[in-house]
């Protein structure tokens, strides 16, 4: 089947078609024509609308699924459907389930159960056994089985020696560590950002310097060992300054920011809504401004959804008992796109397309004739309501439930497979 995209504006920095309005014809999964105007064929699907935009397929560097072990929260199929609806043609899956991705059989399970789907799925093996930060996993075996990198998800390294050894080992096999930064001796028991709002609410806070101290230590270890290190998500102005300094020293470090931390501040928790209970926590408007500036200047490399599904029993509790995290695959980019003018989209698009793939050292699609189609079509002038009917996750722990967005993902094309909202 063919798909014809009519009068779409290409947002793809580096492409000869960047910022041009064109027609794009996809036949048998390949881009066969790119012209100012292509006549509609008798068969096939035509996608058209006012002020449609197209980029190479979006990639989310941080998602989790319940499968295997917690299928009542999310299955791999529901994860893929949510990702496709959210505009992603590729996702990296961290271990936040049981059993953890410690063994090659878990990596092989993820790969075999997501093969030939509309969204490409890349599993990340754990750095340490059961993400406890002590004994290293069999990283080489995990890599040989298809792990594209290693992560202990939201479990920050307490043991500096363990991270030191892990970086050395990963460097030897030319792989990547992805780490969360949080000194739990400083943030232990914290429910939200430590500041005026937490004081007003009487909730124990998670100070920004808990993230920053742990980040500074990890960067110092990287400087000593060499290798590659990705910081999953930073949330404060101080962390931005540390990453900027590390990059000026030419350390091989990249970092991400959660879409939540780009658009929401800690005042969102004034009603004690546990759907806003996140890790890293929502911080201040000053931090949001610093994060956006860092994204636009390239200090921050990628934007992530930080999709973390939880069932009602995990979130509909007293605030201090509720789990951290929210679903966000279908709402991450609509929430961020609302904050951007069309003329300023280039850096954001790179942060969700080319940069995540560079981090994982995987193939980067191109919008060129004879290339396999890997595209996301979206609009900043179409609205949708994220309600329970639209939500494709098995969990509905979203701070955006019943919110209407003014930006919308129209659909994705990934080779011969496609999905349209």
Q: Token digits for 260?
A: 């939540």
At residue 44 the predicted structure's pLDDT band, cuts being 50, 70 and 90, is confident
Catalytic residue among 159, 306, 316, 387: 306
Q: Are 366 and 15 in contact (CB under 8 A)?
A: yes
For residues 186 and 213, the answer to whether their CB atoms sit within 8 Å is yes
- State the Cα–Cα distance between residues 238 and 206, nearest whole angstrom: 14
Which of 348, 323, 337, 321 lies closest to 384 in space, CA to CA? 337
* pLDDT top residue among 344 and 274: 274
> Residue 340: pLDDT above 90?
no
Report pTM: 0.97
CB 194 within 8 A of CB 267: no
Percent of the chain with pLDDT over 90: 95
Q: How far apart are CA 354 and CA 128, in angstroms?
A: 28
pLDDT at 342 over 80: no
Per-residue pLDDT of 218-269, as tens digits, reads 999 999 999 999 999 999 999 999 999 999 999 999 999 999 999 999 999 9
What pLDDT, in 10s, does the model give residues 300-328? 999 999 999 999 999 988 999 999 999 99
Per-residue pLDDT at 274: 95
The pLDDT value given to residue 3: 95
In the residue annotation, 306 being an active-site residue is answered as yes
Per-residue pLDDT at 343 exceeds 90: no
Tens digits of per-residue pLDDT, 381-392?
999 999 999 999
CB 101: neighbour CB atoms within 10 A?
28
DSSP 170-182: HHHTT--EEE---
Q: What is the pLDDT of residue 42?
A: 62
Contact 353, 59 (CB under 8 A): yes
Averaged over 268-286, what is the pLDDT? 97
The phi and psi torsions of 169 (rounded to 5 degrees) equal: -65, -45
């Amino acid at each position: 089947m063919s798909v014809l995209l009519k009068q779409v504006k290409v947002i793809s920095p580096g492409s000869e078609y960047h910022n041009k309005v064109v027609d794009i014809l996809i036949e048998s999964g390949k881009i066969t024509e790119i012209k100012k105007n292509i006549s509609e064929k008798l068969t096939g699907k035509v996608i058209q609308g006012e002020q449609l935009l197209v980029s190479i397929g979006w990639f989310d560097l941080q998602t989790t699924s319940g499968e295997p072990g917690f299928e009542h929260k999310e299955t791999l199929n529901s994860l893929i459907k949510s990702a496709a609806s959210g505009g992603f043609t590729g996702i990296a899956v961290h271990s936040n389930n049981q059993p953890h991705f410690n063994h090659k059989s878990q990596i092989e399970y993820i790969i075999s159960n997501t093969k030939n789907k509309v969204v490409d799925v890349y599993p990340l093996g754990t750095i340490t056994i059961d993400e406890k930060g002590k004994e290293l996993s069999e990283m080489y075996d995990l890599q040989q089985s298809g792990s594209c990198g290693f992560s202990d998800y939201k479990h920050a390294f307490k043991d500096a020696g363990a991270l030191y050894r892990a970086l050395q080992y990963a460097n030897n096999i030319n792989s990547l560590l992805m780490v969360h930064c949080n000194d739990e001796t400083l943030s232990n028991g914290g429910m939200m950002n430590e500041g005026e709002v937490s004081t007003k609410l009487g909730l124990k806070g998670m100070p920004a310097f808990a993230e920053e101290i742990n980040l500074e230590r990890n960067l110092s270890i990287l400087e000593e060992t060499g290798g590659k290190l990705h910081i999953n998500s930073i949330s404060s102005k101080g962390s931005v300054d540390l990453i900027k300094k590390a990059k000026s020293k030419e350390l091989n470090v990249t970092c991400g920011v959660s879409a939540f931390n780009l658009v929401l501040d800690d005042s969102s928790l004034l009603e004690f809504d546990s759907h806003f209970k996140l890790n890293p926590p929502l911080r201040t408007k000053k931090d949001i401004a610093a994060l956006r500036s860092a994204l636009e200047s390239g200090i921050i490399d990628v934007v992530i959804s930080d999709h973390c599904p939880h069932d009602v029993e995990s979130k509909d509790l007293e605030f201090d008992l509720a789990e951290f995290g929210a679903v966000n695959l279908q709402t991450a980019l609509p929430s961020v796109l609302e904050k951007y003018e069309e003329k300023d989209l280039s850096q954001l698009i790179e942060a969700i397309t080319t940069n995540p793939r560079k981090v994982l050292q995987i193939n980067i699609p191109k919008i060129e004739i004879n290339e396999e189609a890997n595209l996301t079509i979206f609009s900043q002038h179409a609205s949708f309501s994220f309600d329970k009917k639209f939500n494709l996750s098995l969990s509905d722990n979203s701070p955006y439930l019943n919110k209407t967005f003014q930006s919308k993902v129209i659909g994705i094309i990934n080779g011969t497979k496609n999905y349209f909202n």
